[in-house]
Amino acid sequence: MKVAIINYNAGNVQSVLFAMDRLPGIDATLTDDHELIRTADKVIFPGVGEANSTMKHLRQKGLDDLIRSLTQPVLGICLGMQLLCDYSEENDTECLGIIPQHVRLFQPGNGEKVPHMGWNSLDLQPGTWLSPELDGQYTYFVHSYYVEKGPYTAATTNYCQPFTSVLRKDNFYATQFHPEKSGKVGEQILKDFLAQ
Amino acid sequence: MFAKRIIPCLDIKDGRTVKGGNFVNLRDAGDPVELGARYSEAGADELVFLDITATHEKRKTLAQLAREIARHLNIPFTIGGGIRSVEDVEVLLNSGADKISINSAAVRQPELISEMAKHFGSQFVVLAVDAKFVDNEWYVHLNGGRIKTDIPLLPWVKEAEDRGAGEILFTSMDHDGTKAGFANDITARVSESLSIPVIASGGAGTMEHFKDVFTTGKADAGLAASIFHFKEIEIIDLKQYLQQEGVVVRI
């Protein structure tokens, strides 16, 4: 199976490639080549960084239109998930507009620290693309902004309030946490995505 | 539920783990990648690799090591030891490190924190600080605690946060190696004065010490080396104990 990992100005995309290489039967490439991305069986849109400059970079490389036009399963990770949405409060950023949701800054009400950094548990919605045994399991998060709960939410996590930690709309899948850094649970989530 | 983290620390010299400890069944107890994988399986939430090599070749070996760890490990890891420049950091991040830690270099040149946060994002930058209680005040110490500065601890960690550090790794030199418990009071003051997570280090000897540092000490994570290396405490036993005591951990 050919997996294209979109390579752009984002931090630590190498780890996503390594995680793919650990799975059997996966031929993963880190690339910004439109043709390679378009023809891949699965696409991963990773992301660590700041929303506004990342969107600018995507537009410059024409990757924004390319991502919108993809029809195979696409997995957004962390900032990649946030950028699939309409709008982010992070530096007032228009995002890709694929998921009709807003991305908000955490407002600690009970002394929570921002960023939300560390392991937190998943509450699965019924009937999602995730293996049911993942309910209640822990994954690794690093983020200050979150996607609100909405009709495309597949799992929530509680920090300051319940927010969307996994979602899906049509062929677009996304996780707020880093499955590539979430131990065996993360590996299962990557397998669940690759099985779509 | 948001979990408290347990973090083993591995000392690295010339690309090899030193003080590998009592790990039986390891083909090579000096191999940091294999030891790291072992800890990951045992339930460690994160790993810290601290390079204590003092050679010019350091940057290259450290980058190779980061790459090997990232290739084989599926939990986050921090790499630190002698990092002095944005270039040092860039090569580590491109090799797959999740975070880097800086210590003495940041004290000598605080703008390094700002530069690194600006280039790579706060989530990559862990400020490590060693402090000792001298004349009724906690002072920052350099070079593994050997050199005292006149910088008080609390203003320094606040400055680090303001400059964009994403996390503080605080070691009390007075507690380090004693196995008599963490420096809970000052850890709580550090934690309460900041809005970024604090990793407490130094003094872990029993499972109760971890409970204390997470409750009284208000730490977000607890770091230890020898008690894990020498299997005085198994991480899974520690986590089960903490869970029974009402501390949220990932099991």
- Taking only the tens place, the pLDDT of each residue in B202-216 is 999 999 999 999 999
CATH number of the structural domain spanning residue A13: 3.40.50.880
Give every CB contact of residue B86 below 8 A, 6+ residues apart in sequence: B112, B115, B116, B119
Instruction: Determine the distance in angstroms separating the CA of A93 from the nearest CA of chain B, rounded to an integer.
Output: 18
ipTM of the complex: 0.92
Average model confidence (pLDDT) across chain A: 95
pLDDT value for B29: 67
Q: Could you count the other beta carbons within 10 Å of the beta carbon of residue B27?
A: 6
Residue to test with chain B: of A5, A7, A9, A12, most B Cβ within 10 A? A12
B196 contacts A113? CB cut-off 8 A: yes
Q: Is residue B239 part of a domain?
A: yes
Residue range of the domain that includes A96:
2-194
Q: Checking DSSP bridges between strand A153-159 and strand A123-124, what pairing results, if any? A: antiparallel
The total domain count for chain B is 1
pLDDT of amino acid B55: 66
Handedness of CA A24, A30, A36, A40 (dihedral sign): positive
Residues A23/A15, Cβ–Cβ less than 8 Å: no
Task: Decide which of A76 and B59 is more confident.
Answer: A76
> How far is CA B236 from its chain centroid?
20
3-state DSSP of chain B: CCCCEEEEEEEEECCEECCCCCCCCCCCCCCHHHHHHHHHHHCCCCEEEEECCCCCCHHHHHHHHHHHHHHHCCCCEEEECCCCCHHHHHHHHHCCCCEEEECHHHHHCCHHHHHHHHHHCHHHEEEEEEEEEECCEEEEEECCCCEEEEEEHHHHHHHHHHHCCCEEEEEECCCCCCCCCCCHHHHHHHHHHCCCCEEEECCCCCHHHHHHHHHCCCCCEEEECHHHHCCCCCHHHHHHHHHHCCCCCCC
Quickly tell me which residue has 């620290």 as its tokens. Answer: A113
Predicted confidence at residue B231, as pLDDT, reads 86
The CATH number given to whatever domain includes residue B225 is 3.20.20.70
What does the alpha-carbon distance between residue A104 and residue A87 come to, in Å, rounded to a whole number? 9
Unique residue bearing structure tokens 């984002």: A10
Among all residues of B, which ones are annotated catalytic?
A: 11, 130
Given a cut of 70, whether residue B19 has pLDDT beyond it is: no
Within the 128-147 window of chain B, which residues sit less than 8 Å (CB to CB) from chain A? none
Query: What was the pLDDT predicted at B118?
Result: 86
Residue A24 CA to residue B122 CA, distance in Å, equals 34
B93 contacts A138? CB cut-off 8 A: no
Ranges A113-117, A164-168, B247-251: which has the least confidence? A113-117
* Portion of chain B with pLDDT greater than 70, in percent: 94
Task: Identify whether B251 is part of a domain.
Answer: no
A121-144 average pLDDT score: 96
d(CA A113, CA A108): 7
Pairwise CB contact (< 8 Å): B220 & A113: yes
pLDDT in tens, B167-213: 999 999 999 989 999 999 999 999 999 999 999 999 999 999 999 99
Chain B positions touching A13 (Cβ under 8 A) are: none
Residue pairs between chains A and B whose CB atoms are closer than 8 Å: 84
Q: pLDDT (tens digit, 9 = 90+) per residue, A143-193? A: 999 999 999 999 999 999 999 999 999 999 999 999 999 999 999 999 999
B54 pLDDT band, cuts 50/70/90, is: low
Confirm whether B151 is domain-assigned. Answer: yes
Q: Predicted confidence band at B146 (pLDDT cuts at 50, 70, 90)? A: confident
Of A49, A114, A120, the CB nearest to B3: A120
Cα B25 to its chain centre, rounded Å, is 26
In a domain, B250, yes or no: no
Q: Residue for token digits 């909405």?
A: A150
Assess whether pLDDT exceeds 90 at residue A11. Answer: no
- In chain A, how many domains are there? 1
The confidence score (pLDDT) of residue A109 equals 85
Beta bridge partners of B16: B13
The verdict on residue B249 lying in a domain is no
Q: Residue B53 domain-assigned?
A: yes
Q: Which domain holds residue B87?
A: 5-244
